[in-house]
Amino acid sequence: FHFHVYWHTSDPAARAAALAFHTEILRLNDVGFFVAVIFRINERPVGPHPMGSYEVWSPKEYFARTFQWMAVNRPDEVSILLHPLSRQERLGESLHSASVLPEFTEDVPLQYPELGLGYSATPASSATAALKNVSISPAASNEISKEVKEFHFHIYWHTSDTSARAAALNFRNEVLRLNREGFFVAVPLERVNEAPLGPHPMGSYEVWCPTEYFARTYQWMIANRPPLVSILVHLLSKEEVIDHTTRAIFLGPSAPLFIGALRPVLDEYPAQYPELRL
């Protein structure tokens, strides 16, 4: 995956915030909290990127940790573009200037093979197993103790569109099938909302996902989301409002939420399905 960190080049405060964020990413790499490799800093538009930016590469083994850390710690002056690294570059980077990208690349865009992570993990399970033997520093342990462990995907469709509803329910059936087959753990709530409910402004259902399967579930949802469906992705922390707003992302068109249905701060973490021990 790539995280592209953006700031307005005419705003020195935004640049300073982006570079301080850059320094913190480097520190957390150094202490072993995650593997998130930073590429060069672009002080002006380059390629498809329309402003000051830098790229952060993340392998799937550390994606959930990197995603939640960036969501919680992103400076207000900074935006982050997140996309998977597949052969479909334009699909990954849906920017106004994406025409500078090829529609397809010949090969998967392999980066940092020397790390033995992501596409370079051979076999894939060996890299995941190796992570269990990584030495964790006290600084990394402190960050790990604060990280968010669970996520929601909310699948949305326009309630007046029968084709969108059918696509959303077929998508749900596919999620259930892949759970049964052991591809991931991504649990749809039994209830399907046929009308707006709580903060959700249209037909919807919830899919819960633990951090252990977040990278796989996220990339599968990106690759398989029906065009008539949007997906809200958010963390499950005690800060319900910002989890659904500034920390959230949409796959597909966004929709305004009714924030009045949410509590700013919960007394406890909203842990779900403790029987799964995930």
Coil vs helix vs strand at 35:
coil
pLDDT higher than threshold 70 for residue 187: yes
Q: Which of 186, 199, 194, 197 is nearest to 244 (CA)?
A: 199
Q: What band does 128 get if pLDDT is binned at 50, 70 and 90?
A: very low
What would the pLDDT profile of 143-182 be if each residue is shown by its tens digit? 888 889 999 999 999 999 999 999 999 999 999 999 999 9
Structure confidence at residue 231 (pLDDT): 97
pLDDT higher than threshold 60 for residue 95: no
Q: Which of 201, 250, 257, 182 is nearest to 221 (CA)?
A: 250
In the chain, the percentage of residues whose pLDDT exceeds 70 is 87
| The token pair that represents 177 in the structure block | 């099938």
Instruction: Please name the helix (run of DSSP H) or strand (run of DSSP E) that holds residue 55, with its range, or none.
Output: strand 52-57
Structure confidence at residue 130 (pLDDT): 44
Report the mean per-residue pLDDT for the chain.
Answer: 87
Q: What band does 132 get if pLDDT is binned at 50, 70 and 90?
A: very low
